[in-house]
Structure formats: C-alpha cells, structure tokens
Structure 1
Amino acid sequence: MICAQGVAAPLVLSSLLLQLAGGSCPSGCLCASDILSCGSQGLEQLPAEMPASTATLDFSHNRLVRLEEGDFSGLPRLDTLRLAHNRLTRLSPGSFRNSSGLRHLDLSSNELHVVEQHYFQELLGLEELLLFNNRITRVESKALSGLSNLRRAYLSHNRLTDFPFFSIQEHSHPFLSTLDLSSNRMPKLPLEDIAALPASVQSGLFLHNNTLICECSMYSMFRHWEQRGYGSVKDYREEHTCLVYGERRASVRFFQHTRFFENCTLRVQSLLGEPAASLLAYEGDSVFLDCQTSLRGPQLTYLWVSPHQEYVAPPGNNVTLRMFPNGTLEIQAAKTEDSGVYLCMAVDRQQMRNETREVNVTVAVHRSEAEPFNTGFTTLLGCVVSLVLVLMYLYLTPCRCWCRKQPPAATPSPANECSAQSSILTPTPPATTEGPGRKASNNKHVVFLEPIKEVQNGRLRAALASDNPKLQHLRGDTDSITSVFSDTPIVP
C-alpha cells in the first residue's frame, strides 16, 4: 500500500511515526524528525498538542503575547526553543516546567519589560539565552542565579540602567564567557562587582554604546581591558563612548579623545580582578603601582626596585618616586625615562617569607587631540598670507607705465607704448627694441613672456606662428633676445 502511494508514502510514514511518538503535527506547521517549525503562521497561542519527540521547536514570527504554565511540559526532549519576533510581554511561573534539558532559548525581539526571577528557574541546563531587542528595564537579582551552565547571554538593545553583576560570579557561573549588555542606558558601572568577575567573563563583557558618564575609574577599567587585548574592547573601540559631565550632547569616543582624561590617575590594583603585569601611562600622569601580595599582617615591609636599579623604601626619594607604608609606589609626573620594569618585594620577617612582583610600565608621549585642527589652521593661514601678497602685488606696486611720463622718442614707434612683455614684479617699464643693434634696458626682470607681433633684429619671432597668449619656449638660436633668468640682454 505504501509503495502504491508513491510520493505520499513519506508523509504517511511520518504521520505514523508521530502517532507512535505520542502526538500529531499541528495544522500549518512543518514536522521533520525531531523538529517542529510553526514560524510565520500568525499564531496567537501555542497548539494544544505537539509531538512529544520534539527537540527543536520554532514559533518565531508569530503573535504570541504570553506563555502560560506548562506550555512545554509535554516536551521532555526539548533542546532548542525559538520564540523570537513575537509580542511576549510576560512569562507565567512554570512556563518551562519539565524542560530542564533546554539548552538554547531565543526570546529576542519581543516586548518583555522585566526579567523576573521565576522566568528561568527550571532551566538548569540552559547554555544560551537571547533577550536582545526587547524593552527590558530591569533584571531581577536572582533571575540568572540558578543558570549554572549558562555560557552566553545576550541582552543588548534594551533599556537597562543597571545589571546585577554580583549574581554571576565565578562560583555560580563557571562556564559563562559572553555577556552582551551593549546598547543600553547604563550611566554608571559597579566596578567592584565587575572586578569580582573572572577574567574569562571580563574579556567577553560587552558594554559599548551605553550612556556611561565619563569618569576616571571607568576610563581606567576600559584602558586596562584594551591593554590585555580583550575582544570586547578591541573589536568595538569606536563604539565605546561616554558623556562628558553627563550631557547627552557631549558624547566622546574615549579611546580616541584621551585629552578628557589627562588628569586621571592610572592605578595598578586589584580593581579588575587580577593584578596587572603591565601599564601604559602618559607623560605628566601620576601613576600608582600597588604591591600585590598574598602575605598578610602588620609586620610586612615593602621595597621597590626601579628600572634604574634604585632601591625605594618609604617615604621614597622625594624627587620622582614616593612610597606609602602599604607598599604603593607613586611615580610623580611620569616621564618617558621612567619606563621599565618595577620590582616589588614584600617581606614577612616573622615567618621568614617574601614575595616579589613585577610591573612593566610604559610612559608614552601624550598625543595631542588638537593636531588635526592645527594642520587645518596652518593651511588656512597660508591661504590668507598668499591672498594678502597677491593684493599687495596688485594694488601696492608703484605707478605703471601708462601713468608715468614717457621720455620723448626720436621717432614715434609702437615700441614706445606699453608692451605685453611688461614685467609683473618691477615698476620699471620693460625695455623695447627700438631698432637694429639697439640694446634693451638692463633693468628688465622677466617672469613670463607673451607673444608679441613685432619685428626684432630684422626677423619675425617664432611666436608669430600662434596667437595663443601662453608661455612660449625660448629658442636657443639667434632669434632669442633675452634670458629668462638674467638681467643682461643677450645680443647675437
């Protein structure tokens, strides 16, 4: 019978398998193996019955408004659930009951406002959570605390003003490597809570495109991440902005416009979890180096060794290095020659123990942010000076030949009139050729020559062949009457 049906045989077989598995394929949906796809069907509620064997369930691009208790309780094998692009505003308690095996949950592009603590408490195996592009303004403190297997969480493009970083520490979320909080509305960051995060979380913590207020502590944290090569900073340098004095219209890209943080003190400390092994500072900064050690007790003594092999103990050398009793070393008004490796030694004389730590300090010359403006200003100034020189040449030169009294000529000749060969740099009228054998004036300064129509040395000049008043090449024969670069006429 199945063979006679031909093409319909696979559908019949699939239907039989679904019945054996304990469910039927909802109308308008596509069922294949353990996949149930009901996307773009205009559904306002979930189907009453779904195949119990479903592992991947897709209800994206529908009109779902709410998830009710036990909606997925009949799907014990559910691994991936896609509910993106719906109208979900809230999840009822128990919505994911009997779905502890769910690993991938996509709730992006919905209308959720608050992530309540009961939303995901049954999802102990959840690894990936997508909540971006909602209207979330708050994540409750315990909303993610039970997700011990969580690896990636995406909450970008929401309206968050804060986030409970203290709820995702290393002991509670050992596998978390990506937390995307970009494009939200957070004005400040709880730096101590972020410092408690393991380095694997810090390197995958995306905070760009927030409304952060420019602060030295915030700036130091991101600078530290940049030095460590964290992808969350390296890949989005231009998107990291902050608001100067909290003004929205005064947003600056602080990785490029560093002049707003010239007076900030850069510290090497446990602010960011692990002690920094290297530090970048700029000339003029006051740089603090903390002597990180596991030794404890009031009996500890500290000693620093500078890159120039100078031993520094409290209170310091009172010139460039100052040392505090707790072991912190201050480089006052850092200079480029202060760069190098600084060695800290902590000594416990009672227990006969000591620890050392190295910090590599690089002091760079501060790059001025005004350089592009100075270059443009110099160009503009050059144009203005050139214009003034041209105006001086046009209007401040002495009287031209037509306003000076000409000496009487023995014989009226066109050569006594103003010629097109007049110099443009001298008030002295150009010399003319008055006749064969007559020398031109020695005061002639030629910048360019235009063709003239007159007889010279008894011959027509080569310029007569063209009426175009352009610069003519002076021939090196007997027709040349003067040198372009000489005041002395050349007469054959």
Structure 2
Amino acid sequence: MAWLVLLGALLCMLRVGLGTPDSESFLPPAPHNCPYKCVCAADLLSCAGLGLQDVPAVLPAAAADLDLSHNALQSLRPGWLAPLSRLRNLRLGHNELAALGHGVFTNASGLRLLDLSSNALRALGRHDLDGLGALETLLLFNNRLAHLDEHAFHGVSTLSCLYLGYNELASFSFDHLHGLGVTHLHTLDLSFNRLGRISVPQLAALPAFLKNGLYLHNNPLPCDCRLYHLLQRWHQRGLSAVRDFAREYMCLAFKVSASRVRFFEHSRVFENCSAAPARGLERPEEQLHLQVGRSLRLHCNTSVPAVHTVWVSPQHELIVAPGSRDGSIVVLADGSLAIDNVQERHAGVFVCLATGPRLHHNQTHEYNVSVHFPRQEPEAFNTGFTTLLGCAVGLVLVLLYLFAPPCRGCCRCCCRCCRRPRAPSPLQELSAQSSVFSPTPPDALSRKASVHKHVVFLEPGRRGLNGRVQLAVAEDFDLCNRVGLRLKAGSESASSTSSEGLMMT
C-alpha cells in the first residue's frame, strides 16, 4: 500500500512540474501583417463591413484577393497597392468614394477584377484607370457617373466586361470602343441611365460579339426610325441583350418623360417609318455551311489594305498571328484566317477587325459559320439485296399460281358452308308479322332488311329517273351456281332491267 501512495505522489509532482496546457496555446499564430479585425486566410484578405474610413496602413504581401467592401472609405491614396504584387481581385463596393485620382492603381498590373460599384463616383478621368493593363472585369454600376472621358478606357486593353448601369449618363460615345485595344470587350452594360442621345451608325458599326452583350434597356432613347429598325433586326437575330429585355426597351415619343412607349409593343408610333434609310447601316454577315473535317479560309475584306488585322473567334478569343491557343486556327501573312480541319467548336460568328491610316475608321467583317456532320447515304448492297429478294418472292408466287391451282374439294366445302341455313333475325320476324297489314310480300321485306347481301341493284330515285332498277337483293344466291340469279324490278323500271349493269358487293 505504501508504494502505491508513493507512486501517486510522484505523478502529482510531475503534473505540477509540467503545468496544465492552456487552450490559447493551441491557437495558430496570427498571420504576418494582418490588419486588426480583418480575416487573413492564405492569399485572402477580408476587411469587409468594419466601418473603415481609411485603408489599413499595413497589408500582407501574400494577398491575392482583397475585400474592402461595405465600409466608409472616401478616398484612396496613390501607390497604396505597391506591397500587393500578387493581387488579382479588388473589391471596393459599397463605400463612399467620390473620385479616384491619378496613380491610384499604378501598382496593380496583375489585377483581373475591380469592383467599384455602389459608391459616389461622379466622373471618370483620363488617367483614373492607368496601370490596369490586365484588367478583365470592371464594375462601375450604381454610382453617380455623369461624365466619362473619351480616353478613360484606353489603358485597359484586355477589358472584357464593363458594367456602367444605374448611373446618370446622358450620352455615351462608342468611338473609343472601335480601337484594337478593346477587342476583348463582349459585355457592355449601359442600362438604367439617362441616354437620350445615341449614335445609330456607331451602334451598327459595332462587332457582332459586342452587339450580343450591349444592354441599352431602361433608357429614354429617342423614338428614331433608324434606331427602331436596328433594334428590330437585333431582336429578330436573337441577340440576347435585346431579346431578354425586350419589354424594357423604351423611347420618348415627345420630349416629355410621360411619353415613354415600348419599342416592341407600340408599333403605331413607327407606322410611318421607312426601312430604306436603315438598310445600309448594318452589313449582314456572310453565311457559310461546312461539313466536319473540311478546310476553311476567311478573308478580311476591307475597302483598302489594312495595316493591322485581328480576328475574334465565337468563343471571344482574340486571334492574331500565328493563330489560336490550341493551334487549330492559323492567321496567315495576308491577314486571312485558315482552319485545316473544321470541328463543331468552330461554329459561330468570326469577326475580323482591320485598322490602318488609309481607313476612315476601323472596319469589321463577319462570317457566320455553321458546321454539320455529313449525311450517311444508304449502302448499295442493301438496296440490291432487297430488290433481288422481291423478285424471287414474286417468281415463286407466279409459279404457284400456274402449277398449283386450288383443289375442287376446297371450293365445294366453301359452297356448302355458304348454303347453311341461318337463324332468322329479329328484323325478319318483325317484317313477317307486319305482312298482314302491308300489300308488299313479307319475303321482299326480309330480303331488303337482311344483312347477308351479295348482289345489289341501285335505283337513285324515281322522280326524273324513269327506267332505273330498284334496290333488290337475292339472299338465296348460290356462290357456286351463278346462273340462277333472279332480278327484281319495279313496275316503272321493268323495261330497263336488262340494260343496267350488275354491281357486286
């Protein structure tokens, strides 16, 4: 017993010497340079919803996704993104930013997404977006933008999605969108603005991939005939930006906000519009139909030779020399596009964009390529085999008819079956009972009402048809002995009985 007490004392002393582990000692250490109250997880830094009025002074260099949304930021200092060389996504939505300023994004060369939505921006300057050479998505919706510098987007050469909806833009120029710097752009949202002036020729000159993603709904557009016919054509072609929001495309019949009408529901406003002025606005794309495995070559036809030529694939890939990323599409020295082995993925609209000093403006040329599999023709062997089999069967039937006539016993059996007496029908019994009160013989009524008729003489009518045979049926007609056929004629048609034909039923 003493040694057990000694062992317990030693264990207690050992436990006291080592100490009890605290729960906080198991928590991982805070990441290096993580701002107070922010969440840092690997390359993610989230400081959303903390009521921040300024950007934290120290930011971790490993951050690739920075979220500063839902705060009270009013300004951004130049060069504040210098430590974040790996930054790819920056979210600044739902703040109080009224302006950006020069040099705010000079150190964000790798940024792909920039969210500036739901702020208080009133204008976008010429150098506000400098340094965003790799930007692909720019969210500027739900601001107070009323002015955009014409060169504001010239530095974002890879921009593909631009959202400017829910602002106060009264006009928008598409001139800066014609350059080769924005050939990636396939989504342009201008909805819910104040666009009252818009250039219809500029709209018609846009490439097809941008027309499909150009949102103009919920704007006080003018009820212009050319604009009406242009939107009608886009709707008929099935462009999703027009088709999906057809009811929200409105125009002002007069210069009063209360005179808004829907483009596609109030055609009376455009009854006197002639389609002639709108025919030359859009150059229709060429329709090409190819089979899988064939070769294809597309030429960028322009009025004069172009200096630079690029193509845009149906998958919105910008194709320049030497060709596409997968190598299936090649751009030749003269600017034409070649595909040696056409596949289903090559179906869609190919757009050529050409530019040069002798061209008045950048020109586009569109090809709508349809790819289908070749039709399989039936094999000649199957057709010949079927014909041969049919001839053989026909020959066998002819031989059976010539050399194997039916036996007489079969015919006699058939005739005996026909001569079997049948039970009188209720209609025959009724006609027999009524023969007492009718001058017509009962056997005639029963013969007319019988369902086993074999020979019928037709009499269409007595009035005006003198000399026709009345309806008469011979129930006792013998199928094996057709000589004993008796004919019955009325008093008015007795003279013409022998001249009428016999109808077999």
TM-score by length of structure 2 reads: 0.51
Give the structure 1 partner of residue 141 of structure 2. Answer: 132
CA drift at 1:168: 1.2
Q: Measured at CA, do residues 128 and 135 of structure 1 come closer, stay the same or move farther in structure 2, by a change above 3 Å?
A: same
The answer on whether the counterparts of 2:101 and 2:125 sit within 8 Å (CA) in structure 1 is: no
Are residues 1:74 and 2:83 paired?
A: yes
Match of 2:118 among 109, 127, 132: 109
The answer on whether the counterparts of 2:106 and 2:130 sit within 8 Å (CA) in structure 1 is: no
User: How far apart, CA to CA, are the structure 2 residues paired with 1:5 and 1:11?
Assistant: 13
Are residues 1:83 and 2:100 paired?
A: no
Give the structure 1 partner of residue 408 of structure 2. Answer: none
List alignment gaps of at least 5 residues for structure 2.
1-17, 288-299, 305-505
The answer on whether the counterparts of 1:269 and 1:276 sit within 8 Å (CA) in structure 2 is: no
The residue type paired with residue 107 of structure 1 is L
Q: Measured at CA, do residues 203 and 136 of structure 1 come closer, stay the same or move farther in structure 2, by a change above 3 Å?
A: same
Structure showing the higher helix proportion among its residues = 2
Q: Which runs of 4+ in 1 moved over 3 A?
A: 3-10, 267-270, 272-277, 293-297
CA drift at 1:269: 3.5
The answer on whether the counterparts of 2:123 and 2:148 sit within 8 Å (CA) in structure 1 is: yes
Match of 1:182 among 191, 196, 199: 191
The answer on whether the counterparts of 1:199 and 1:273 sit within 8 Å (CA) in structure 2 is: no
Secondary structure of 1:57 counterpart: strand
Match of 1:11 among 25, 28, 40: 28
Give the structure 2 partner of residue 168 of structure 1. Answer: 177
Match of 2:275 among 250, 266, 289: 266
Give the structure 1 partner of residue 70 of structure 2. Answer: 61
User: How far apart, CA to CA, are the structure 2 residues paired with 1:273 and 1:117?
Assistant: 33
Secondary structure of 2:127 counterpart: coil
User: How far apart, CA to CA, are the structure 2 residues paired with 1:8 and 1:154?
Assistant: 48
The residue type paired with residue 207 of structure 2 is P
Count of equivalent residues: 273
Are residues 1:193 and 2:202 paired?
A: yes
Q: Measured at CA, do residues 217 and 10 of structure 1 come closer, stay the same or move farther in structure 2, by a change above 3 Å?
A: farther
Secondary structure of 1:232 counterpart: helix
Q: Measured at CA, do residues 114 and 276 of structure 1 come closer, stay the same or move farther in structure 2, by a change above 3 Å?
A: farther
Are residues 1:27 and 2:44 paired?
A: no
Q: Measured at CA, do residues 210 and 45 of structure 1 come closer, stay the same or move farther in structure 2, by a change above 3 Å?
A: same
Are residues 1:143 and 2:152 paired?
A: yes
Higher CA-based Rg: 2
The answer on whether the counterparts of 1:198 and 1:273 sit within 8 Å (CA) in structure 2 is: no
Q: Measured at CA, do residues 296 and 32 of structure 1 come closer, stay the same or move farther in structure 2, by a change above 3 Å?
A: closer
The answer on whether the counterparts of 1:194 and 1:272 sit within 8 Å (CA) in structure 2 is: no
Give the structure 2 partner of residue 121 of structure 1. Answer: 130
The answer on whether the counterparts of 1:147 and 1:173 sit within 8 Å (CA) in structure 2 is: yes
RMSD (Å), alpha carbons: 2.4
User: How far apart, CA to CA, are the structure 2 residues paired with 1:273 and 1:111?
Assistant: 40
Secondary structure of 1:209 counterpart: coil
Q: Measured at CA, do residues 116 and 8 of structure 1 come closer, stay the same or move farther in structure 2, by a change above 3 Å?
A: farther
The residue type paired with residue 272 of structure 1 is E
Give the structure 1 partner of residue 55 of structure 2. Answer: 46
TM-score by length of structure 1 reads: 0.53
1:118-142 deviations in whole A, cap 9, x for unaligned? 1112100000000000000011101
Secondary structure of 1:129 counterpart: strand
1:238-297 deviations in whole A, cap 9, x for unaligned? 1000010222111111101111101111146442354598xxxxxxxxxxxxxxx97989
Give the structure 1 partner of residue 237 of structure 2. Answer: 228
CA drift at 1:9: 4.1
The residue type paired with residue 191 of structure 1 is V
Secondary structure of 2:246 counterpart: coil
